[in-house]
Amino acid sequence: MSNPDPKFSTEPRPGSPVRRVLPYLEPSSPVKATTNPGNIRIPGHVKNASARLPDIDVSDFMNLLSPEYDIKTIPESVQSLLTRLLELPKSTKEETLYQPICDLLNACAAHVEEHMKVRGLNHAPLLFVIHADSAPSEHALGTKVRPDLVAVNASAEEIEYYRRTKNIAQQDEQKDGPEEQRKKSKQFVGVPWARLCMTIEVKPMVVKDGGREQAAMYTTYHLIGRPDCVGVFGLCLSPSSFRLYWSDAEGTRITTPMELINGGHLLMQLMWTVRRPARPHTYYDSTIGFMSELPQGSGDANSARRPRLPSGIPREVRQFAGLPTRSRRVNVFVDYKHNLACKDIFLSRTRFYFEHRMLNIAHDYGRSVLPGVPILVEYAVVKDREERFITTCESQWKRLRIVVEGIGETLESCPTIYELLKVLYDLVETHRLLCARGVLHRDISMGNVLWNVHKPPLRKTYQSHEGGVYISRVLDKTQVEDPNKCLCLLADFDNSAFTQGSAKYLDNLKANSVELDPSIEPEEPGNRSSRTGTPMFIARAVSSGRLLQGPGTLPPDLPKVSDKAASLYKAAYKDINVEYPKPTLVPPGPETPPFCHREYHDMESVFWLLVYRLIMWGDGKDELEYDGVHPYLRDFLSHEISSMCHDQRGAWIDQAEFPNLLHSRLRKGPIATLITEMFGIVWPEYALCEGVSVDFVHEAFRRLLINAIVEMDATGEHYAFGEPRGFLKNYSDPVAPATSTHLSTQLGNKRPSDDSRHSSRKRTRH
């Protein structure tokens, strides 16, 4: 299939990997369907078409897989399952192979998930199931497509729900007689096609073609069932060999057979890629060209609300934070030349999407632009070339597109801790100004905070009277080129809330005759009680869904600005830098406020984000420091949002011991001081304190960060990021000293309560 829009350049950003031009499967009998996205074809006589198609070498397939994959060794559990498959007799029936192959794939997926947790990477659940247990629901084309195995973006509990739930969509008790009702009562809804991540065909080794064409058909049908995906992967396995498949708008590519016994790493890299697609990478999406072909003011009544991108946008897909999740999937197409990001998202009828509205509020409805926040360009529901809504097999899921101005790099791209602290300073300032306008982000994490290294075009920005002064201006008051340059870019506002504290801001907008979105109303605190955030970075109270338990602790006094930083800080903020009243502690009682997501919870997420990057810091020298350190790191790196009203980070060590979690080079000096004092700022439960200003934590963080930045500037030690610390290189099977047995025993025991976390200077597990 040719490029659907030849006007567009497909040249990738310089330095990014380029996909080779590969042969693909051209279906011989295309069939149109209501859910067919763009020009993707549905296979007719697949066998006849693919019989003439040569296989490609696996080396030509590798650039479709994620380069983030860095697992060094295959675990013994995976290797033993590979060996067991190879030992099966050649006469083994196909049905008998389902379970051992399913066990192998689930073992690979579990190992990948554990490794991704320790790296702090967002990932979705991935479970392989046999079609007999949870057959996919009826395809949108009305055909019964039954792959042998499927990879599902769901937990084991959800799979059981799908297996037991009857197919309500096809049952009509008012019209059907008793016999028809009896037949339909045996039908399961099955896993929706919108939740499938991969299809797998299993064949015994006696089959010559190895199920090549059948697996290609399943992969192509999977693509039709997942129009939210740019492309989908597939697998064909036997006890001795396997093939990899990829289907996108161009067609289907198939690799040559590979030996299964040596394929453990390739299978795990495939599962890594399913969770976190390769980025940056050149893909093709026919709707990008289609949306761009609509001229401004065309005869179509809806054309004015459709995103139009400049010609020359490279089709590079990034996953900012929106990996496949339970109710949506996000793809982000990035145009580096024009500083644009085109974000596609699929949403169900139970999930609402207000990011475009929040961006309008953040930027004062276009009157002035807040640096550090993407600028809304367009927002619309996407249609295909035949003016049909692009939906998944669950018809209520529609494809939405939001185009924003402002792109950045991940925080992992920051070369030094010094540069990272400057980005976090601007993040705190941006968040403070957002809160002043009533926007609460509620999901600050590694994936949603970007390093703004791309120079944006000149636009009208915030003025100094608003108090927005960013680190580049603080450090150099003579800077005139771009005084509002912000080093951070806070993305992904789809979980944000509009707070009651913005009533004054709303009155100001109305006084200036700004037309407001009537559907946006300030949220009462009780409506912000949902647990919103990302594991490892979410605030402890938000993770547990209740106020922090245990003895109340007063917030410390505001930290003092050091002598070295005082002149810079006062010159930047002038009269803005005022002292805050001393808060008082309110004992728990009938008047205790209910839990809700508040401004300081987002600042705690900034703290955990810094903790994560500092824990990962290494200087390239192997370091094995397990005794008394590794258990706490494991608690943090394996954090999950539990339903037990408990957060394992709540039982951590004393404030004075916190720097001991870091690399030995960071345990003294400005970094140790910074992380210790930040620890004291975020640990109290501010809901139990009176007289706490909304931006108390913002001001405290700004002072601590400027102290550390100026100190590092004076010494010239910026702490460049090198190789990760030794214990992180192979998390699942660490090469530890003799303390490893002792630690594994500790990790298996019960955690102490929050009340006992200060019981000793060096915490042990009982």
List the domain boundaries for the chain: 1-16+280-294+301-407, 46-154+191-275, 408-756
Owner of token pair 């490893």: 740
Fold of 46-154+191-275: tt1808, chain A (3.90.1570)
Task: Return the closest-CA partner of residue 106 out of 129, 123, 137.
Answer: 129
- pLDDT digit string (tens) for 683-722? 888 888 887 888 899 999 999 999 999 999 999 999 998 8
Question: Could you say which DSSP state residue 169 is in?
Answer: G
- pLDDT digit string (tens) for 300-316? 333 333 333 333 333 43
> Residue 335: helix, strand or coil by DSSP?
strand
What radius of gyration, in Å, describes the C-alpha atoms of the chain?
27
Question: pLDDT exceeding 90 applies to what percent of the chain?
Answer: 15
CATH number, domain 408-756, options 3.20.20.120, 1.10.10.10, 3.30.70.3040, 1.10.510.10: 1.10.510.10
Is there a common fold for 46-154+191-275 and 408-756?
Answer: no
Owner of token pair 């007799």: 89
Q: What is the 3-state secondary structure (H, E, C) of 724-741?
A: CCHHHHCCCCCCCCCCHH
* Residue 400: strand pairing partners: 345, 381
**Cis status of the peptide bond prior to 280, with omega within 30 of 0:** yes
Per-residue model confidence (pLDDT) at position 234? 92
Question: pLDDT exceeding 70 applies to what percent of the chain?
Answer: 57
Per-residue model confidence (pLDDT) at position 664? 83
Residue 759: pLDDT band with limits 50, 70, 90: very low
User: If you write DSSP's letter for every residue of 415-459 in order, what string do you get?
Assistant: -BHHHHHHHHHHHHHHHHHHHHTTEE----STTTEEE--S-PPP-
Determine the length of the chain: 766
pLDDT average, residue stretch 199-226: 79
Instruction: Say if residues 651 and 753 touch (Cβ distance below 8 Å).
Output: yes
CA–CA distance, 452 with 430 (Å, rounded to integer): 13
- pLDDT digit string (tens) for 122-181? 667 788 988 766 667 667 666 677 888 999 877 777 777 666 654 444 444 445 555 554
- Cα torsion 76, 77, 79, 82 to 10°: value is 170
Dihedral sign, Cα of residue 536, residue 539, residue 543, residue 548: positive
Highest mean pLDDT among 32-41, 333-342, 397-406: 397-406
Per-residue model confidence (pLDDT) at position 93? 86
CA–CA distance, 747 with 633 (Å, rounded to integer): 11
